[in-house]
Amino acid sequence: MIGAGYVGLVSAACFSEFGWKVTCIDKDPAKIDLLNKGHVPIYEPRLDELLERNLRMGRISFSTDLAKPVAEAELVFLAVGTPMRRGDGHADLSFVFQAVEDLAPHLKGFTVITTKSTVPVGTSREIEKRLRALRPDAEFAVCSNPEFLREGSAIYDFTHPDRVLVGCDDDRAREVMERLYKPLALRNAPVMFVSRESAELAKYAANAFLAMKISFINEVADLCEAVDADVQEVATAIGADGRIGNKFLHPGPGYGGSCFPKDVAALIRIAREARSPLSLIEQVQTVNSERKIAMAKRIEHAAGGSVAGKTVAVLGIAFKPDTDDIREAPSLIVVPMLQEKGAMVRGYDPHARENAEALLPGVVWCASALEAVEQADVVVVLTEWNEFRALSLESLRSRMRGDVLVDLRNVYEPQQASAAGFSYASIGR
Ligand code: NAD
């Protein structure tokens, strides 16, 4: 497994739990050192116990050196990052192609090379071409096996997938992939074999569709406010329709994270270059960018028109609960906007503080929600961590100087907030 990030580590841990022998490789020596000492560099529920058990059983190991593991491997996964390229929105494939160059000299015997990273259509073919040029003598096949896990429930998603998708044009490689996923197939997880291009595109199309659902309900929430409807009621009503489904119909401050923004941008580029633009998805991207800015304005409005000289407590910095990932989080737009408008921001997040500190200078970091709201004029819920649901609103209110609660995740009930003495603003109701 090349790449010990979210996807690489979780995949490696789960494959080793299935009983396979896995070596997880990363070019970052500090990360490998931590892992070898039994520490997990990211916060992901249950990942620590899984890694600890499989490390103890000798089924998983960590290294910066890929020579021996690649030579011995039947299957090499590429799980390196494919971030957004500066300027044009394309997926940056430099980490993928670097890994291909790194592994090529060590291929020995028939080896399946499989991308778990999200990569543009045609990347499997390009990897094959490059490997063929580097090692005309080697026996290998290149597959695509995009990953659909969600941060925060990654282990569950990996072991209970809606489907496992494999893009594969080679019979020998198919046999290896079938064997690898047999433990899931035996539990009735659908393992789907399609062409490599279909697999590559399906991953982007899935994320774009989910992003579209979020932008859709966000716009409907705005409309609800304008016409006195309640977005929770509307979402429940439309979600009951099996054709629509009730997931991803939660209005909020816009999608973020390490995947949706970059994958939407990359799909837009792929479609434009294929001269088959996805105008719907281009609009989703615009709606979502505007959404984050609109949320900062909404906070100002709730604060009486200005946050200048006011103290704003922000609860939740990660892009979603149960992760410490802050990539493209709405907080990275909203917090600096509030600071620019003269607010003093106090921040609390159960796990993301360490990642956020460098990116959000000027924030006063607190050890709990109750500490964050101390003497605040306004409190904003930006990420719906479960621990915020159980907070006593009376306790929050009593510690504050002001009485404004801006709930951008609809965690609380309006009556409950009013009863606690808050001037309450939420989304779409
Ligand atoms: P990440 O940034 O957390 O991890 C990538 C890791 O790869 C880093 O540790 C980096 O040091 C390592 N790396 C880079 N180049 C390397 C090389 N040449 N050799 C060895 N190690 C190298 O990334 P991630 O979030 O795990 O995402 C990986 C891929 O999976 C991306 O394409 C992403 O779009 C996709 N994906 C991510 C998620 C998610 O929820 N994070 C879900 C599905 C798919």
| Closest approach atom of ligand 1 to CA 9 | 26
Task: Determine which one of 14, 143, 259, 366 is catalytic.
Answer: 259
d(CA 56, CA 107) in angstroms, rounded, equals 28
% of the chain exceeding 70 in pLDDT: 100
**Residue 118 CA, ligand 1 centroid: distance in Å:** 9
At residue 263, the pLDDT reads 98
| Closest approach atom of ligand 1 to CA 148 | 43
Q: Is the pLDDT of residue 364 over 90?
A: yes
Same fold, 6-194 and 290-425: yes
Give me the mean pLDDT over the 391-396 stretch: 97
> Is the C-beta atom of 4 inside 6 A of ligand 1?
yes
Query: Side chain identity at 337, as an amino acid letter?
Result: M
Q: What homologous superfamily is domain 6-194 in, according to CATH? A: NAD(P)-binding Rossmann-like Domain (3.40.50.720)
Q: Is the pLDDT of residue 336 over 90?
A: yes
Domain residues of the chain, as ranges?
Answer: 6-194, 290-425
> Is the C-beta atom of 28 inside 6 A of ligand 1?
yes
**Residue 119 CA, ligand 1 centroid: distance in Å:** 11
Contact at 8 Å (CB) between 255 and 286? no
pLDDT in tens, 120-174: 999 999 999 999 999 999 999 999 999 999 999 999 999 999 999 999 999 999 9
> Is the C-beta atom of 251 inside 6 A of ligand 1?
no
**Residue 2 CA, ligand 1 centroid: distance in Å:** 9
Residue 259 designated active-site: yes
d(CA 251, CA 179) in angstroms, rounded, equals 41
Binned at pLDDT 50, 70 and 90, residue 256 comes out as very high
Q: Give the list of residues 6+ apart from residue 427 with CB closer than 8 angstroms, or none.
A: 218, 221, 231, 251, 252, 407, 408, 409, 410
Give me the mean pLDDT over the 365-381 stretch: 98
Q: Is the pLDDT of residue 185 over 90?
A: yes
Give me the mean pLDDT over the 199-219 stretch: 98
Give me the mean pLDDT over the 96-103 stretch: 98
At residue 203, the pLDDT reads 98
**Residue 109 CA, ligand 1 centroid: distance in Å:** 26
Q: Whose CA is nearest to atom 37 of ligand 1?
A: 7
**Residue 285 CA, ligand 1 centroid: distance in Å:** 23
Q: Are strands 75-78 and 111-115 parallel, antiparallel or unpaired?
A: parallel
At residue 114, the pLDDT reads 98
Q: How far is CA 139 from CA 156, 223, 274, 297, 326, in A?
A: 35, 58, 32, 58, 41
Contact at 8 Å (CB) between 22 and 16? yes
| Closest approach atom of ligand 1 to CA 25 | 20
- Structure tokens, 318: 């990660």
At residue 314, the pLDDT reads 98
Give me the mean pLDDT over the 191-201 stretch: 98
> Is the C-beta atom of 82 inside 6 A of ligand 1?
yes
**Residue 26 CA, ligand 1 centroid: distance in Å:** 10
| Closest approach atom of ligand 1 to CA 82 | 32
CA 405 from chain centre, in angstroms, equals: 27
> Is the C-beta atom of 80 inside 6 A of ligand 1?
yes
> Is the C-beta atom of 319 inside 6 A of ligand 1?
no
Half-sphere exposure of 171 (CA within 13 A, CB side): 0
At residue 40, the pLDDT reads 95
| Closest approach atom of ligand 1 to CA 102 | 18
| 3-state secondary structure labels for all residues of the chain | CECCCHHHHHHHHHHHHHCCCEEEECCCHHHHHHHHCCCCCCCCCCHHHHHHHHHHCCCEEEECCCHHHHHHCCEEEECCCCCECCCCCCECCHHHHHHHHHHHHHCCCCEEEEECCCCCCCHHHHHHHHHHHHCCCCCEEEEECCCCCCCCCHHHHHHCCCCEEEECCCHHHHHHHHHHCHHHHCCCCCEEEECHHHHHHHHHHHHHHHHHHHHHHHHHHHHHHHHCCCHHHHHHHHHCCCCCCCCCCCCCCCCCCCCHHHHHHHHHHHHHHCCCCCHHHHHHHHHHHHHHHHHHHHHHHHCCCCCCCCEEEEECCCCCCCCCCCCCCCHHHHHHHHHHCCCEEEEECCCCHHHHCCCCCCCEECCCHHHHCCCCCEEEECCCCHHHHCCCHHHHHHHCCCCEEEECCCCCCHHHHHHCCCEEECCCC
Binned at pLDDT 50, 70 and 90, residue 87 comes out as confident
Q: Is the pLDDT of residue 349 over 90?
A: yes
**Residue 7 CA, ligand 1 centroid: distance in Å:** 6
> Is the C-beta atom of 118 inside 6 A of ligand 1?
yes
Q: Is the pLDDT of residue 338 over 90?
A: yes
Q: CA nearest 272: which of 263, 282, 287, 262?
A: 282
**Residue 3 CA, ligand 1 centroid: distance in Å:** 6
> Is the C-beta atom of 152 inside 6 A of ligand 1?
no
> Is the C-beta atom of 98 inside 6 A of ligand 1?
yes
pLDDT in tens, 394-423: 999 999 999 999 999 999 999 999 999 999
Q: Is the pLDDT of residue 104 over 90?
A: yes
d(CA 409, CA 419) in angstroms, rounded, equals 19
pLDDT in tens, 293-316: 999 999 999 999 999 999 999 999
Q: What homologous superfamily is domain 290-425 in, according to CATH? A: NAD(P)-binding Rossmann-like Domain (3.40.50.720)
Roughly how many angstroms between the first and final C-alpha of the chain, as a whole number? 47
Contact at 8 Å (CB) between 374 and 390? no
* pTM for this prediction: 0.95
d(CA 229, CA 249) in angstroms, rounded, equals 15
Q: Whose CA is nearest to atom 23 of ligand 1?
A: 81
Binned at pLDDT 50, 70 and 90, residue 205 comes out as very high
Q: Whose CA is nearest to atom 27 of ligand 1?
A: 81
Give me the mean pLDDT over the 221-244 stretch: 98
Q: CA nearest 389: which of 409, 368, 366?
A: 409
> Is the C-beta atom of 8 inside 6 A of ligand 1?
yes
Q: Whose CA is nearest to atom 25 of ligand 1?
A: 6
At residue 86, the pLDDT reads 86
